[in-house]
Structure 1
Amino acid sequence: MPISRIAIGRAEEATHPDALKAALAEFISTLIFVFAGEGSGMAFNKLTDNASTTPAGLVAASLAHAFGLFVAVSVGANISGGHVNPAVTFGAFVGGNITLLRGILYWIAQLLGAVVACGLLKFATGGLTTSAFGLSGVSVWNAFVFEIVMTFGLVYTVYATAIDPKKGSLGIIAPIAIGFIVGANILAGGAFTGASMNPAVSFGPAVVSWSWDSHWVYWAGPLIGGGLAGLIYETVFISHTHEQLPTTDY
């Protein structure tokens, strides 16, 4: 069972050069992703004078996030694995593919990257609002289920295309598949919850705009969905002859 492979990690891992480089890669990748995704929404609001979201705006947000995530995963894949999302990191942890200490480093880097991206956007646009995620026409429990299901699909895709050791050449298109599922989920859930699927994406604008309405949904939903995807994929589809990483790898 994957639960037997969950590891805390060694104390020195927190300061190991490879782990710190990986955390820096996560910071930069998340900054790139959030700057493009949140920036596209701010640009739409400017062009429409803060009008209501239209179908064209939803499509634009979907494309911006899909393209941005494709790039963010690609540039970080060979250094940190290109998680760019605390829910992906949590899913990898639940499946025994990353230690707790390294995962915490990733979380800190991802959250900082999102906050810095939103701060830069607010400064670069002359003080325009970085809109926090919010619910539209649904209850918090509806939104909670939405975020669980969408994030499950995202992390399941990550496992199938990037983590599964049997993926073979399929791993080459992993960033494309990951970007596509996020774009598709935004088309499905964007009009209801904003389709975060990523606690860092929600955290950055919430901090900069200091708006926390129903914010717990954007943590609990993605973490549960990501954890379930990691547990199910690792248990059912990945061989139980999983080899541990060499002791020198962090």
Structure 2
Amino acid sequence: MAFSKLTDGAANTPAGLIAASIAHAFALFVAVSVGANISGGHVNPAVTFGAFLGGNITLLRGILYWIAQLLGSTVACLLLKFATGGLVSSLSPKPSTLPGVGVWQAVVLEIVMTFGLVYTVYATAVDPKKGSLGTIAPLAIGFIVGANILIGGAFDGASMNPAVSFGPAVVSWSWENHWVYWVGPLIGGGLAGVIYEVIFIGYGTHEQLPTTDY
């Protein structure tokens, strides 16, 4: 689970969920903020994919971002495992074993959560009509991820980010149901990017391209 990476399958307690959601929210807020002027704050392959399908990023740049995101996640997990003396023995999130909750339910949950995330990215950072709303984009993006973890953390780890699952899978060499954390986020992110672009921005109607695309 997202909140038990250092405790190897600790109990899914309300306190653990809250701590994980707050930590993720603020960490993502900082990550997006510090990367905004360099790469547009891209730290999530699903967000990058949604931006590409919406026509707000080129294929080449998207591929380069994906490579950087996956390498960054892998290196971070290697450093985490080293810093804890090998304490981290089960990094990869796995769909819940709760009764009635299986991998396909996890896929749907990932689609819904990532749709909300990428929709928020478009509304606050990509939309050329965003105006001063763009100043709170990193905070809004962090908060939606934190809120989603409160909902999905106890069920499937609430990834919403293939890179978050890829690095741990490589380091721990645990690939069980790993496809869930690619299929769900990419579908959700892609749908959000296309829907927002078509309905609220409109292809070919950009008056001013955004300077950053989180």
TM, length-normalised to structure 1: 0.78
- Find the counterpart in structure 2 of residue 62 from structure 1: 21
Asked if residue 131 in structure 1 is aligned to residue 91 in structure 2, the reply is: yes
Q: Which has the higher helix share?
A: 1
1: CA distance, partners of 2:208 / 2:39 = 17
Which one-letter code corresponds to 2:115 in the other structure? F
Gap runs ≥5 in structure 2: 210-214
Which one-letter code corresponds to 2:92 in the other structure? A
Which deviations, in whole Å up to 9, do the C-alpha atoms of 1:83-128 show, x marking residues without a partner?
2100000000000011111100000000000000000000000011
- In the alignment, is the contact (CA less than 8 A) between 2:128 and 2:208 conserved in 1? no
Runs of 4+ more than 4 Å apart: none
Deviation at 1:221, TM superposition (A): 0.4
Structure with more contact order per residue of length (Cα contacts < 8 Å, sep ≥ 6): 2
RMSD over aligned Cα atoms: 1.7
- Find the counterpart in structure 1 of residue 161 from structure 2: 198
Map 1:108-127 → 2, pairs under 5 A: 108-127=67-86
Match 1:226 to one of 162, 169, 189: 189
Larger radius of gyration: 1
Asked if residue 164 in structure 1 is aligned to residue 123 in structure 2, the reply is: no
2: CA distance, partners of 1:228 / 1:205 = 26
Gap runs ≥5 in structure 1: 1-36, 246-250
> Aligned with 1:190: secondary structure?
helix
- Find the counterpart in structure 1 of residue 199 from structure 2: 236
- Find the counterpart in structure 1 of residue 114 from structure 2: 151
Which one-letter code corresponds to 1:131 in the other structure? L
Identity of aligned residues (%): 79
- In the alignment, is the contact (CA less than 8 A) between 2:110 and 2:185 conserved in 1? yes
2: CA distance, partners of 1:168 / 1:243 = 13
2: CA distance, partners of 1:118 / 1:128 = 12
> Aligned with 1:191: secondary structure?
helix
Asked if residue 213 in structure 1 is aligned to residue 176 in structure 2, the reply is: yes
1: CA distance, partners of 2:126 / 2:135 = 12
TM, length-normalised to structure 2: 0.91
- Find the counterpart in structure 1 of residue 146 from structure 2: 183
> Aligned with 2:156: secondary structure?
coil
- In the alignment, is the contact (CA less than 8 A) between 1:42 and 1:128 conserved in 2? no
2: CA distance, partners of 1:107 / 1:243 = 28
Which one-letter code corresponds to 2:144 in the other structure? I
- In the alignment, is the contact (CA less than 8 A) between 2:4 and 2:10 conserved in 1? no
